[in-house]
Amino acid sequence: MKTKSTLLLLFTITIGFGQNEKDMKQFDSNFAHTVYFWLENPDSKEDCMAFEKSLQKFLDNSAYAKTKYIGKPPRASRDVVDGSFTYALIVTFESAEAQQNYQDEAPHKVFIEESSELWTKVVVYDSKGVN
């Protein structure tokens, strides 16, 4: 009986305090990680599909990422808009430590292994909220 009570308590704590799907989609202004990728063959549907599949698998399995945004550049409407990249990724975290844990987690490393041959350039902008 004590084991069942302990398991029930642990389950309740996990459900109550763990990140749920809503939390994972909300922008956390504490730490933003913005990544731009330039694929070697941006017109290759096969390369784009492989990249998107690997990136989505990574994000679906990340224990730390809150916001999970994948984008492509729109047609530039102004001279100040840089639309030269192939994909953009915006991920937010509750802290710089959570972002470092994301860098070290297995899904991130698998993504790099699977996809690094597809890109020629990656630029990262990290920022902390001013509030």
- The answer on pLDDT for 14 being more than 80 is no
Percent of the residues in the chain that have a pLDDT greater than 90, as a whole number? 62
Domains and CATH numbers, the chain: 20-128 (3.30.70.100)
Distance (Å, rounded) from C-alpha 38 to C-alpha 85? 5
* pLDDT for residue 89: 96
* Amino acid symbol at 53: K
List the one residue out of 126, 63, 114 whose CA is nearest residue 89.
126
Mean pLDDT over each residue of the chain, to the nearest integer: 82
Q: Report the predicted TM-score, pTM, of the whole model to 2 decimal places.
A: 0.77
* pLDDT for residue 9: 35
Write the pLDDT tens digit of every residue in 68-82: 899 999 887 788 888
For 25-48, what is the mean pLDDT? 89
Distance (Å, rounded) from C-alpha 75 to C-alpha 77? 6
pLDDT band, very low/low/confident/very high, at 84 (cuts 50, 70, 90): very high
Percent of the residues in the chain that have a pLDDT greater than 70, as a whole number? 78
* pLDDT for residue 1: 55
